[in-house]
Amino acid sequence: MSKVSIIVPVYNTEPYLEECILSLRNQTLQDIQIILVDDASRDQSLTIMNQQAAIDDRIQVIALEENSGVGLARNLGIQQAQGDFLAFVDSDDYVKPEMFEKLYQKAIEESADIVLCDTDTFSSNGQKKSVWYKPINGKPQLKDIYHNTQPTSRIVSKALIDQIQFSFLPGMGEGIFFELMIQAKKIVTVPEKLYVYRSRDGSLSTTPNPRINIESKENNRIMGERNPAYKDYFTFKVIEDLLQLVATAVKINDHQTYKNAVQELNDLNYRKNPYLSTFYKDEYPWHRYYIKAYLLPANFSLARLIHRLTQK
């Protein structure tokens, strides 16, 4: 048994992978398990993983023959995890040396199921990107959980994962971490920037891709069905995905995807959703909220004009 099992799904991140793995190997908390899951990378990622595993016996490598997505890769890691707590790290990010020692100690001191930390950013052009972060201490409220369900920058009790038989959905499936947070008896926070998110061109989070928005939308539909007490909230999450899909379609000049997304928004009577004018509105300055929620879905030509003007 280890204190913390760290699961890293890997897909074509050769330029950044060694830095990520070294940041885990150099943790001040030595009693860790590092599970690297190669999702059929086409570059030299698997070679790097095997080289690091030959040096450090705390590393276990799982190599998939076919690309299956980050959700399945994380699930395979969960199946192999032996730690008291589990953590998820993206293979193009890295962590501060004291991250897991501080989070683990906090979990033990507070008898917490989940421990969060703040996130720093690194980008090749030197520009800092804001990452949504909200500390939680105690039993979380819905407003605390909103946009705080990313699986990175935290540890979660293996006992809680086993108790609810938790697993990620296919594709991105990040919002499913919601189920762990609502079931947790206690969540606490170490208010330090211990996880470093790498902002880079070409990553899933920076490349406009309708497929990602559509997968997230479908996952939120499933989450609403699985959690009927929160169905209204997940209807809002579907609306949020559709609004992002509208913005993505405008950026890539995809009129058909735009029309389909707007039709779905109208079918959901999205402007009447109470969370739109609370959670979503609070996320943006008023003018950006108005543009995203009202102007962009109003007319494709107008949306394209707004996009061109805001890019200058």
Shared domain check, 112 and 157: yes
Q: What DSSP element (H or E) covers 30?
A: none
Shared domain check, 277 and 188: no
In angstroms, the CA 9 to CA 73 distance is 6
The answer, yes or no, to whether residue 251 has pLDDT greater than 80, is: yes
CATH at 165: 3.90.550.10
Q: pLDDT band at 134, cuts 50/70/90?
A: confident
Domain end marker among 175, 199, 223:
199
pLDDT at 138: 94
**Percent of the chain topping pLDDT 90:** 80
Tell me whether residue 190 is in a domain: yes
Shared domain check, 137 and 111: yes
Shared domain check, 293 and 185: no
Shared domain check, 269 and 136: no
Domain that holds residue 274: 210-310
Residue listed under structure tokens 């009202």: 294
Q: Which stretches does DSSP call E strand in 92-232?
A: 94-95, 114-123, 154-157, 187-199
pLDDT tens column, 164-202:
999 998 876 678 899 999 999 999 999 999 999 998 665
Shared domain check, 232 and 156: no
pLDDT at 123: 75
In the chain, what are the helix, strand and coil shares in percent, each to the nearest 5?
50, 15, 35
Shared domain check, 38 and 129: yes
Residue listed under structure tokens 């394209």: 304
Q: Give the mean pLDDT of the chain.
A: 92
Tell me whether residue 85 is in a domain: yes
Q: What angle do CA 224, 147, 286 make, to 5 degrees?
A: 110
Shared domain check, 157 and 285: no
Shared domain check, 251 and 109: no
Tell me, what DSSP letter sits at residue 202? T
How many C-beta atoms lie closer than 10 Å to residue 305's C-beta? 13
Q: Which of 195, 176, 158 is nearest to 77 (CA)?
A: 158
pLDDT at 281: 87
Query: Contact at 8 Å (CB) between 139 and 185?
Result: yes
Tell me whether residue 204 is in a domain: no
pLDDT tens column, 206-249:
567 899 899 889 999 999 999 999 999 999 999 999 999 999 99
Shared domain check, 233 and 150: no
How many domains in the chain?
2
Tell me whether residue 142 is in a domain: yes
Query: Contact at 8 Å (CB) between 41 and 10?
Result: yes
Poorest-pLDDT segment among 84-98, 113-127, 138-152? 113-127
In angstroms, the CA 263 to CA 246 distance is 11
Shared domain check, 271 and 242: yes
Q: Which of 77, 105, 104 is nearest to 90 (CA)?
A: 77
Domain end marker among 166, 199, 232:
199
In angstroms, the CA 133 to CA 153 distance is 10
Shared domain check, 262 and 190: no
Domain end marker among 170, 199, 228:
199
